[in-house]
Structure 1
Amino acid sequence: MRIRLSFLIVALLCGAAAAQNQTQSRQQVLEELQQILLPSRTPPTGRINAIDKTWEDWVKRTGELPPDFDSMPSLAELPDPLMLNEDGRRVPVTTAEQWLRKKQWIRGQVEHWMFGTMPPRPDNLRSRVTDERREGTSTVRDVMLEFGPGHRGKLRLQLIIPEGKGPFPVFLTNHARNKPWLYTAVNRGYVACVYYATDPRYENGDDSDAFIELYPEYDFSCLARWAWSASRAVDYLERLPEVDRHQIGLTGHSRNGKQALLAAAFDERIGAVIPSSGNTGEIIPWRFNTNPYAVESLELLTGAQSHWFHPRLHFFAGREHKLPVDQNLLLAMVAPRGLMMYSGYAESAANPLAFEQAYRSALRAYRFLGHPEKIWLHLREGEHGTTAEDIEIFIDFFDAVFGRKERRKSETWIHGYNFDSWREGTGEKMDASRFPERSPEDLAPASRAEWESQKLKICEAIKAVLGPEAPHVPFEAKKRLGGMIWAGEGWLATLFGRPTDERHWQQRLAASGMGVATVPFGDGLAGRLFYPAGTDGKPKTGPWPVAVWLHPYAYSTGWSARSPWNPNVIDYLADQRPSFASLVQRGIAVFAFDQIGFGSRVHQARRFYERYPQWSLMGKMVKDTRDAIEALAAMEEIDASRISVFGYSLGAKAGLLTAAFDERVRAVAAVCGVEALRLNSSGTEGLRHYSHIHGLLPRLGFFVGHESRAPFDYDEIMALAAPRPMLIVAPTRDRYAPVEDVRREVEASRRVYRLMGRGEALEFETPTDINRFSRVTQERVFDWLAKR
């Protein structure tokens, strides 16, 4: 008995110690987040709930800590909509009953981590018509809904009922008549119904704000209250004889698109939904809205719009891969009802790759339920705003899924890549077992002669994966700034508002000490050179050193993401792009261009592998960067001996590969670009990042599951650039590349640098930060470049 009691006491003590350690760890995570992230903003409503004005207030009041991230699974890619996790087992969804359990689990997780818990449907809803009148050929009916404790809950509706015999389908939205949304729906024979739960900035009030006090035991956030209000409108609509209750279509735009998707996911009476341009927190999954994509990131939305989501979501900034759920699961919850994912592929907050990833995932649920025709992907041209034609397309979709008229399904592909199609189209095969297993520690040449021998083999291995370049002829380079330019970026560059050589731009940029010129290069491409200029706009005396900026995964906007020429942007955006003015003021010119598949060239990747089946997108990026260097080196105003490259994320990877093969690169600064391809760290995208997700280096897909046999790794890429100066920045909380893995890669490369007598030329910094190119890191990189 005493022995058992002793064991029990020891077990209790160990358990208490473990719990205390876990609490301390979570407290450290919170303190680190508060150190890294910008303070959240007080929303225009003045509060995020009944008590707190900001996220910080909520944390202080509740004492809630981040979850124990170490105990949570790391899901680098989207969670599977057709997989249950029960009793520690992964169970495929194969029955209707399992699908119901999956949906219930998704809802619970979404409410807990993202939007807060919603009240149940009120059982005492009553309605009161406050006005009814004829306008044109339609009947306009104003309605007040009353519900909840003491019927204190109030929600205004406005219905516009077309002339004719019903019942009619419904176009449900929280965009009132001062926005051009309802009119087309009425033209097409729909009852238009507005519920007044939306952002007060739209000048129609937000009835749902009062629900905070009405339901104090529920912590539903602003977007959740709007979505819950949509369901109260459905409560009323399904009672009306004028309404076909089986044909209720819901839509909303931008922030209202977010709430529309949430409402439809949770309310199966909504027969179809069109979330329009809500992007992040809507049809862009959180795993694809991180800083490398230069869109509205999780830390931006939950900080700058702190009332939209539940405060818990803010804990996942930089740890998006730890979220148990993602937006693709909300999309899947709509199945098999109608869903059209609608956005502009070139919107500043868009990510066409993310749209496609989410669509493919949700499509699996629709196929499982037998209705793949009811999910559409429609990516339009243009920026964020909508037109009457967009609403016509909405009604076309509703007509199709409601069986009112046959329409061809819309399925817009911008990137359109997947590994299996590439493999089938090219017939490529590689046997990973024929490659030796290697690790960073294997890069240890004993002499320069041995290194030169290894170097040739490494170059061959990298080139085999990059693929053979297409035949080419050098572009006829310009010798000086100015003159006629025949190459251009196309119409999308105009949409992005990029600076041009025109006088008004020169005058505007002169205030920041810059001028701008278009420089043609490569295969008829064009980029922008930002150079030192006086207040009169005239170029300062050269020749200037130049730094080539290589952008991250900014699919929709390329190098112009967040207007890097503009020194005055809000703090959240300043951490998502470099300040060209800050670098130019150091006397360094900056050259920027779009990589293939990004920005003004976003369409060029779609058929790349049909046109160049043996090449790779990364191979093309490296060639384009080298062509840009060639064009710059030919200019009289540029110091050809001082051409550097600096990049973030994708740009850092392309920059390192360029430096490995082009000795004209004097120095390279790579932020969040190095990872360990052969180490296969759990929770990262690993080789699939290159082969399956972005299609940069498809041949690496043959080594998935055999990572230690990958043909090359970043330690070898960096070593090829030795002994030229190199700055590697690897944040401690980079979810894509564990910092200790990066350290192993850098230390392996440093052995080659030391062999060549320049160990100090390879600098390695590990700021306490998440994956981003923050202003602090920018200044460090700019200072480093200025000394090269």
Structure 2
Amino acid sequence: MASLPHKGMADLPPLLEFSDGTPVKTKTDWENRRNEIRDLLTQYYYGSVPDETPRIARVKTINNNTERGVVRNEIMITFDTINMANFILEFLYPVTCTSHARCPLFMTQTNHRRWGLVGISRGYAVAVYPAADSNDETDPFRVAYPNATWGLIRRRAWLASRAVDYLVTLDVIDQEKIAITGHSRNGKQSMIAAAFDDRFTAVISSSSGVPAMSPYRFTSSFTFSESPSSKWPNAPDSLNCSCSRSPDHRPTIPQCCWWLPSLTQFEGKENEIPIDSHGLLGLIAPRFMLSECAWTDPCDPSFAVERSYCAGKEVYKFMNVSERLRIHYRPGQHHGFEDLENYFDWFDYAFGRGQTSSSDFLEERLHNFDWNSWNSSSSTLHPDIPLQNASLLYKLQWMLGESPGGPVTSPGGSYAVEYHGYIDDMLGKGSQLYEVIDGVVKMTVNFGCYIYGNVYYPDNYKSSTIPAVVWLHPFSYQGGYIENYPHDSQRMYHRLAKEGFLVLAYDQIGFGERLLDGTPSQFYKRYPNWSLLGSMVHDVQSAIDFLTADQNGSHPDGLPLFSFYHKHYPPVQKNHIYLVGYSMGGLVALHAASFDTRIAGVACLACLTPLRNNSLSRTTGGNRRLYEWHALLPRLGWFEGNENKIPYDFGDILLYLKNNTSTLIDSPLYDRTVNHWAVQDVIDYVHNQASDIDMKFVSTQDINQLNDRMQESTVQWLHSRL
């Protein structure tokens, strides 16, 4: 049996390789690989459809009228299945569409019907089919085909194809110009429909998320985004799902409604699947595909979207049609700001209509850091590598790069927070600048170089001072410190506040509301010899400045918090300030604590994987995750293949901190982003060098997930420090 080298890959499996690693070289190779991708997506994600395509038994027009130059038909289409399954299709078209002047067809789902009205105004015929949560008529086909394993999303996509079976018989439709789109779950089914039915000529993924435009390898729980076992919304009671049922006919596992129930077995080990949802792009190629997503979309993180885009682009290049795959960003979050006119501009471009061309859809990316270009740039300095006997701080500063100076205390001013409420509301941080939720106060503040944050503390605190925590989030581009798809009973910052701590939480540069402040291409144009990680360390220093500043009725930066809120936040115990970082946040915390003796302790949660041991880089992503994928530490790339020459490793940092700073290292055994055995070697090395070190190491048989167990471990450690 052939090995499957694509299993276990941290990065997306190359679409121009077969699962056994054989490269695709010819068009015939590609057709065979395309079939393999289709089979793998069916096997792992979407489920199988009926072996046969049912024949249309009869068509009945149940409503017909013409108004304001638009013909509207409601049509019941019945199929030759064992139960004569049927559904009602709404079909609208301008009276100018005739057999001599056929119109392109736009298809969408019931809840996006008004999108279709925009299409009418642009000269499209429109088909609205019943495959949405609010109107789903797919269940008779589930009954008709009990052997099909399809999840509900796949079944809806299949229904779109059955609508096409009828629509292509109409002489007002241009069969070569069929477009489909939908939003969120409907965006998923639109991509799947186009991937499995070549009659769709153009598709737009409108915030489709996972497993569609966003692949699980780059979302999942360690990015605070959707994972295979995320708490997805239950389907409406009127819907049935293709999985085991309770006595009242509701699914026993809600996830079964959308995908194969077996998908949940890959929680935390998503890279063990030999394909990811980027495979849809390979199946759609060479047809026109636009990914439409929002900057801070919790369901469709921009980093994941762009990893998928880059992988799919290789297929489009192979076919010499690179311009047919694009991303378009909009402001805001998951819902709202959909640019429908732009949607139809894309379809016009795809169909050669009007004056729209490829120049209207230039490549648009946020995470397009090119390490080789950075390295060869005339602006990039190449200072000598620190000598082995150099101080650790010198080595750290060398790796972080040339700081522009600071951080300095910002001038403040009420403008800094006065107009921030709507942003907090959009990102799910609360609708008010000051509010009390479940016994925890949230107060919006501004510190350092114009950084927004929120402090959380118990509403009923009694003591004169309070210990403090700076909460540092993971690779959560979409929401910063907000857990969009939580796996814990309550959010970490809220839990710590209820445990008696004041928590400062903020979005780090390049994430959440600061996404556009730290896009790698822009950051390294401004600071070619610094690093994003260096900037994050500066922000932590500013956070400590904020927490340790005396309060004399006004904010130390000049913002009159008391007159603004009529409240003070509790004075902080300056000898009890801790950093708690998860994943990327832990990496930031360890570096920041090395430079700041005011930090009493660091909790590093699922964050530690040694730099000098890159042996499992294929599985974990290795150092490339830091110097190229996320562009946190570009100078680290100078040691690719020579990791033993890296000036320092995390064992050196832990030993350096031992005199002033307590540490908690929580490293789940099944964390796919970490070389756990190398972590164990580091811990053993540290204990051998300093047996009395104040360091707690926790390793449980968990995946990388911020859950109640990890929270409880952190809380107990923090309390033990007081």
TM-score, length-normalised on structure 1?
0.80
Mapping for residues 601-640 of structure 1, pairs under 5 Å? 601-606=514-519, 607-636=522-551, 637-640=571-574
Equivalent AA in structure 2 for residue 296 of structure 1: E
Quick check: 640-649 or 541-550, which moved more? Answer: 541-550
Quote the residue 1:767 is aligned against. 700
Quote the residue 1:171 is aligned against. 106
Quote the residue 2:244 is aligned against. none
Q: Distance in 2 between matches of 1:308 and 1:161?
A: 32
C-alpha deviations, 1:324-353, integer Å up to 9, x for none?
111112112111101001111212323111
C-alpha change, 1:235 and 1:386, in structure 2 (3 Å) is farther
Measured after TM superposition, the shift of residue 500 of structure 1 is: 7.5
Mapping for residues 357-506 of structure 1, pairs under 5 Å? 357-386=307-336, 390-405=339-354, 406-407=356-357, 408-425=360-377, 428=380, 456-472=390-406, 474-475=408-409, 484=414, 486=416, 492-499=423-430, 502=433, 505-506=434-435
Measured after TM superposition, the shift of residue 187 of structure 1 is: 1.1
Q: Distance in 1 between matches of 2:483 and 2:363?
A: 26
Quote the residue 2:243 is aligned against. none
Matched, 1:227 2:157: yes
* Structure 1 counterpart of 2:66, from 134, 142, 159: 134
C-alpha deviations, 1:429-463, integer Å up to 9, x for none?
8799x899xxxxxxxxxxxxxxxx95x43333222
The answer to whether the Cα contact below 8 Å between 2:672 and 2:704 also exists between their aligned partners in 1 is yes
C-alpha deviations, 1:258-298, integer Å up to 9, x for none?
11111111111100111211212121111011212111112
Equivalent AA in structure 2 for residue 578 of structure 1: R
Mapping for residues 359-758 of structure 1, pairs under 5 Å? 359-386=309-336, 390-405=339-354, 406-407=356-357, 408-425=360-377, 428=380, 456-472=390-406, 474-475=408-409, 484=414, 486=416, 492-499=423-430, 502=433, 505-506=434-435, 508-509=436-437, 512-534=438-460, 540-562=462-484, 573-575=486-488, 578-606=491-519, 607-636=522-551, 637-682=571-616, 683-723=619-659, 724-754=661-691, 758=692
Equivalent AA in structure 2 for residue 775 of structure 1: D
The answer to whether the Cα contact below 8 Å between 1:257 and 1:274 also exists between their aligned partners in 2 is yes
C-alpha deviations, 1:557-590, integer Å up to 9, x for none?
112334xxxxxxxxx6252973333322322111
Equivalent AA in structure 1 for residue 704 of structure 2: N
Quote the residue 1:27 is aligned against. none
C-alpha deviations, 1:513-544, integer Å up to 9, x for none?
3323334322222322212323xxxx744321
The answer to whether the Cα contact below 8 Å between 1:289 and 1:298 also exists between their aligned partners in 2 is no
Q: Distance in 1 between matches of 2:423 and 2:313?
A: 30
Mapping for residues 300-319 of structure 1, pairs under 5 Å? 300=230, 304-319=254-269
C-alpha deviations, 1:142-170, integer Å up to 9, x for none?
22223343472323211011121331101
The answer to whether the Cα contact below 8 Å between 2:425 and 2:432 also exists between their aligned partners in 1 is no
Measured after TM superposition, the shift of residue 410 of structure 1 is: 4.6
Quote the residue 1:97 is aligned against. 28
The answer to whether the Cα contact below 8 Å between 1:515 and 1:533 also exists between their aligned partners in 2 is yes
The answer to whether the Cα contact below 8 Å between 2:425 and 2:431 also exists between their aligned partners in 1 is no
Q: Which has the higher helix share?
A: 1
Measured after TM superposition, the shift of residue 681 of structure 1 is: 3.3
SS at match of 2:89: strand
Measured after TM superposition, the shift of residue 773 of structure 1 is: 1.1
Quote the residue 1:160 is aligned against. 92
Q: Distance in 1 between matches of 2:194 and 2:37?
A: 14
Q: Distance in 2 between matches of 1:429 and 1:523?
A: 25
Equivalent AA in structure 1 for residue 451 of structure 2: L
Quote the residue 1:778 is aligned against. 711
Quote the residue 2:42 is aligned against. 111
Measured after TM superposition, the shift of residue 733 of structure 1 is: 1.0
How many residues align structurally? Answer: 669
C-alpha change, 1:746 and 1:70, in structure 2 (3 Å) is farther
Quote the residue 1:567 is aligned against. none
Equivalent AA in structure 2 for residue 586 of structure 1: E
C-alpha change, 1:333 and 1:500, in structure 2 (3 Å) is closer
Quick check: 363-372 or 577-586, which moved more? Answer: 577-586
C-alpha change, 1:127 and 1:772, in structure 2 (3 Å) is same
Equivalent AA in structure 1 for residue 95 of structure 2: E
* Structure 2 counterpart of 1:274, from 204, 223, 233: 204
CA RMSD of aligned residues (A): 2.7
Q: Distance in 2 between matches of 1:304 and 1:633?
A: 47
SS at match of 1:180: helix
Equivalent AA in structure 1 for residue 280 of structure 2: L
Measured after TM superposition, the shift of residue 476 of structure 1 is: 5.1
C-alpha deviations, 1:367-424, integer Å up to 9, x for none?
111111111101111222246x622111110000111132311533233323233224
* Structure 1 counterpart of 2:145, from 209, 215, 236: 215
C-alpha change, 1:234 and 1:462, in structure 2 (3 Å) is same
The answer to whether the Cα contact below 8 Å between 2:456 and 2:497 also exists between their aligned partners in 1 is yes
Equivalent AA in structure 2 for residue 630 of structure 1: D
SS at match of 1:715: helix
> What percent identity do the matched residue pairs reach?
31
SS at match of 1:777: helix
The answer to whether the Cα contact below 8 Å between 1:345 and 1:379 also exists between their aligned partners in 2 is yes
The answer to whether the Cα contact below 8 Å between 1:558 and 1:598 also exists between their aligned partners in 2 is yes
The answer to whether the Cα contact below 8 Å between 1:141 and 1:160 also exists between their aligned partners in 2 is yes
SS at match of 1:229: helix
C-alpha change, 1:486 and 1:492, in structure 2 (3 Å) is closer
Measured after TM superposition, the shift of residue 71 of structure 1 is: 9.1
Measured after TM superposition, the shift of residue 217 of structure 1 is: 2.2
The answer to whether the Cα contact below 8 Å between 2:93 and 2:124 also exists between their aligned partners in 1 is yes
- Please list every run of 5 or more consecutive structure 1 residues that lacks an aligned counterpart in the other structure: 1-18, 20-67, 437-452, 563-571
SS at match of 1:91: coil
Equivalent AA in structure 2 for residue 684 of structure 1: T
Equivalent AA in structure 2 for residue 399 of structure 1: D
Q: Distance in 1 between matches of 2:439 and 2:191?
A: 46
C-alpha change, 1:239 and 1:148, in structure 2 (3 Å) is same
Measured after TM superposition, the shift of residue 545 of structure 1 is: 0.9
Q: Distance in 1 between matches of 2:540 and 2:72?
A: 60
Q: Distance in 2 between matches of 1:332 and 1:72?
A: 16
The answer to whether the Cα contact below 8 Å between 2:386 and 2:395 also exists between their aligned partners in 1 is no
Quote the residue 1:62 is aligned against. none
Measured after TM superposition, the shift of residue 94 of structure 1 is: 2.5
C-alpha change, 1:176 and 1:639, in structure 2 (3 Å) is closer
Measured after TM superposition, the shift of residue 698 of structure 1 is: 1.2
Measured after TM superposition, the shift of residue 729 of structure 1 is: 0.4
Equivalent AA in structure 2 for residue 381 of structure 1: P
The answer to whether the Cα contact below 8 Å between 1:645 and 1:655 also exists between their aligned partners in 2 is yes
Q: Distance in 2 between matches of 1:136 and 1:268?
A: 34
Quote the residue 2:79 is aligned against. 147
